[in-house]
Structures are given as C-alpha cells and as structure tokens.
Structure 1
Amino acid sequence: MRDADGTDARILVVDDEKAIVELLTSLLSCEGFQVLPFTKPLEALLACSQEGFDLAIVDLMMPEMNGFELCSKMRMITTAPILFLSAKDGETDQVAGLTLGADDYITKPFKPRELVARVKAHLRRVDYNSGTPRALCRKSDIEINRRSHEAFLLGEQLTLTPKEFGVLELLVRRAGEPISGEEIFESVWKERYDSSGANSVMVHIRHLREKLSEIDSSREYIKTVWGVGYKLIVSTAPHQETPSSEADPDEA
C-alpha cells in the first residue's frame, strides 16, 4: 500500500553537477523514494519516455539542454509534477519556468527538509497518492494511459476490451514480476477466483498475445512462468517469439 505522502514514489533527478545529484539521491532515498538520477538531460528525457516517474527535480542551468527546454519536452509526455532547482532566484526565471509547465521553483542552496516537504506536498496533490498508479506507464515498448484507457505498442494503438486492458495494465505496471492467475483475476474481474476464473485469465492472456503479435511478432512480450503465473518481459532487445502453452500456470 502506498504511504499517504507518496514515499514509494519514483523521483527523477536531473542536474549536471554530480555532487548535487548524489546529495539529492541520498536525501530522497532516506525518505523512502525511488530515485532515478541523471547528469545528462537527454538521458533523463529518454528515461522519462520509456519508464515514467511520479515527480521530477530539474536543474535550470545545464550545458547540454537547459531546464526550460527539458521541462517543455517532458510536458509533451507527462503530467507529473516538475520542480526547478536553480541558483538563479530572479522573478523572470521563476515566471518563465512556471509558464513552461513547472510546478515549483527551489533556489540553491536549498534546505533539505524544505525540499523534501515540497516534494511530498506535490505528490499529495496528484493521483499517485490517492492509491491510483501513474496515468502513463511505459515498459518494453508498451505504453498504458489509464486516464484515456488506451494502450500502445511501438506507438501503434492496441484494440482491447476493458478486461484485456486491465490485464495488460497490471502486467505493465509490474513488469518483470510474475503475477498469479488468481491475483490477475481478482484484481481485474473483482471476483473470487475459481476454475472458471482461471480459464478467463488464460483466454485473455492468449488474446493479448495475439494482438501484440499482430503489431510485433519478432519477440515474446508475455511469458508463462510455470507454477506461478504470467509476467511481462522487460527487454530492449527484440528476439524471436516462442510458442506459449494455453495451460493454466497455477495448476502446473
């Protein structure tokens, strides 16, 4: 269960000063946050588009790409809170940052307790802390948008039933982790698991595999973990799809 202040949230930290990144990583990790640290804005932008995050702390003055430009690009793919961090405390820069889509502006040198308090305050205002997962989630070339109830593979929209979307959303959100048929059924169908539930999950997994394969047949996306359940394979390298059995893994 998520804490009320979002202390298991994923925080993206971007600053060209390695010492600042290390300081923020240590500070936020001690508070229970998962930190994604970057010193290069382009690498951070790539992670933003592929993995998603719940809040970002972005330095304003960076040589490769300044914070204004990075914020503008990030706003094209996420609605997560963005906090600017800068040694410049002029009103013009603060207004420019907020106009581009930033949610807050923190000046250096910052007070650690104040920074953490602001992070938690912003997280309390978004869906994350109401127990709702991130609106956008991307794993293994699959993008899930919970608000619009849409799913995409390699940028191409998947045509899914509500239950298929629910199953895929759960697998993507917990990518790489085997999930039992029982948990999938009770999470998506909201009913008690039984033999008919096992069959329903198996059929929906088969349909998802077929629909994913229609767009990309070069690799396997959903793997059967015998005796455990199913998992979304986290991989950036394509591979040949292997035949999958229709047997219920919970009964293997």
Structure 2
Amino acid sequence: MRVLICDDELDVAQIVAELLRREDIEAVVCGSGPEALAMLDRARFDLVVLDIMMPGMDGYEVCRRIRRSSDIPVLFLSAKTEELDQVMGFAIGADDYVTKPFKARELVARIRARIRRDRRASSHVVRHELLCSAGLELDATAHEVTLNGEPVSLTPTEFDLLAELMRAGESPVPASDLYERVWHEAYNASSRNSVMVYIRHLRKKLADIDSSRPFIDTVWGVGYRMRQAATREEVSDE
C-alpha cells in the first residue's frame, strides 16, 4: 500500500505518515496541491489524503483535478468540521472525510478499508454480473453504467452504491446497510449524511440523461430502493 499525504502543515502530514509507516503502509508527504498533482502524474499511489485549507490551490480544487483523470480514492483530512464542508467534499468526488483532530486508529482503519475496497473492485473477476432496470444497465465486471445506451460517469463510491440498490431490486435497503456494504465501516450517527449525499449525486447524474422519471425512491423510515426491479444476468467468460 502506498499513500500520498498532502497538507501545508508538514508537521501534521509527517504525523500521519509515521502512523501509516508503523502499519507497514508506505507514505509520501508533500505540502501543496500542485506538488501533489505532479507526484500523482509521476508515480502510482493507492490513496490520497488531502487537507482542504491550503494556500494557492485548496484541497477541493486538487480533488476536482484528480477526478478529471483518475478514480484513485481520496480522503479529506481537515479542520473544517461543518456539515456543509463535508457535503462539498463528497460532492466533488471525495471517498471519505475525517475531521481534525483525528483518532489515529480510526484514520488508519479508514485508509486500509478504502484501499482494500478499491483493490477488490479492480481485481479480475471470472464471471460477469450485469444488472438491468428500465434502460439502466450496470456491468459490475467492466465497471460500466449506461442509461438508454448513454454512458453514465460515476465515482467508485457512486458505482458501488448503485450496484447495491440494483441488486436489491424493488426491496428497500436501509441507509445503515448501504453504508456498511459500500463504505465497509460500522454505521454511526454521521454516516447517514454520506449516504444521502451520494444518493443525491446518483439521482442528478441519472436525471441529466433521462429526467422523464425518477430511478431511486426514498422509502421514509426504511431506506432507498430502485423504482423498478433489476434483473441479474451472469455470463461466463469460460
């Protein structure tokens, strides 16, 4: 595992790096957004830890630029604790958000879980899983989604969330179940916001292509479900 840590407070970045190194995770530190982007162009990393409040190019802009060409997991580590700040982070493509001051064990666990999940998603799968629902098709093996034949651009988290909903068909899935299946972490009081933000992103991206009908329903007091049942088709590569 190799992690890039970008924070203009280099003492904080070095603390995070040392925590990761103690867990046998290689950590590289840089102090600015442009430096982080240059390092990502030159070398391979499994995850990026980003501060937000950096001079010149802030963490939000760094994340936007990363998302133009890469699906690498991005975790914001920031002193900005307002809900709106976290919503903004998820909206521009972050996969996780941890506030300062942080708990060392929790931060390392989140980083490990995120990298582990990303590796599982990119590992070779022998069988294809194709989920279909009223013009919406999700190929879990190729990691592709189309709506009415038009490609839908999703982040890894958005993709996994949509896959879980489509697998459930018309059965509502509680937010707690979605969070634990997609984020691979225990559900807590703040987790509901993460699910809500990503559901909102999915609805918007689908509506941008086809606004004639809703695709994801909120079942109040229960969770979320697809408007029409998905069917599963498995095709062997053998």
TM-score (normalised: structure 2): 0.50
- Alpha-carbon shift at residue 93 of structure 1 (Å): 0.7
Cα RMSD over matched residues? 1.9
- In structure 2, the partner of 1:241 is none
Secondary structure in structure 2 of the residue aligned to 1:125: helix
Aligned to 2:96: 104
**What code does the residue aligned with 1:53 have?**
F
Distance change (3 Å), C-alpha of 1:22 and 1:128: farther
Structure 1 residue 77: Cα displacement: 2.3
Seen in structure 2, the aligned counterparts of structure 1 residues 130 and 32 have a Cα distance that, compared at 3 Å, is farther
Q: How does 1:201-212 map to 2 (within 5 A)?
A: none
Q: Report whether the alignment pairs 1:26 with 2:23.
A: no
Larger-gyration structure (1/2): 1
For residue 70 of structure 2, give the secondary structure of its aligned residue in structure 1: coil
Judge conservation of contact 1:54–1:128 (CA < 8 Å) in 2: no
User: Aligned residue for 2:76?
Assistant: 84
- In structure 1, stretches of 5+ residues that fail to align are 1-8, 133-146, 149-252
Cα deviation code 1:161-187 (max 9, x no counterpart): xxxxxxxxxxxxxxxxxxxxxxxxxxx
1:23 alignment partner AA: I
Q: How many residues align?
A: 126
Distance 1:86 1:20 in 2: 11
* Structure 1 runs (4+) greater than 4 angstroms displaced: 128-132
Specify the SS of the correspondent of 1:109: coil
Higher relative contact order (Cα pairs below 8 Å, separated by 6+ residues): 2
1:88 Cα deviation (Å)? 1.1
Of 104, 108, 115 in structure 1, the residue corresponding to residue 107 of structure 2 is: 115
Unpaired segments ≥5 residues, structure 2: 125-141, 144-238
Q: From the two aligned structures, give the one with the greater strand fraction.
A: 2
Residue equivalent to 1:36? 28
How far apart, in 1, do the equivalents of 2:70 and 2:100 lie? 25
8 Å contact kept, 1:82–1:103: yes
Residues 59-102 of structure 1: CA deviation (Å, up to 9, x unaligned): 01001211100000011222111000111111111011101000
2:86 counterpart residue number: 94
Q: For the structure 1 residues 31 and 130, does the alpha-carbon distance in structure 2 shift closer, same or farther, using more than 3 Å as the test?
A: farther
The residue that corresponds to 2:62 in the other structure is 70
**Aligned equivalents of 2:123, 2:36: Cα separation in 1:** 26
1:52 Cα deviation (Å)?
2.4
Q: CA shift at 1:129, angstroms? A: 8.2
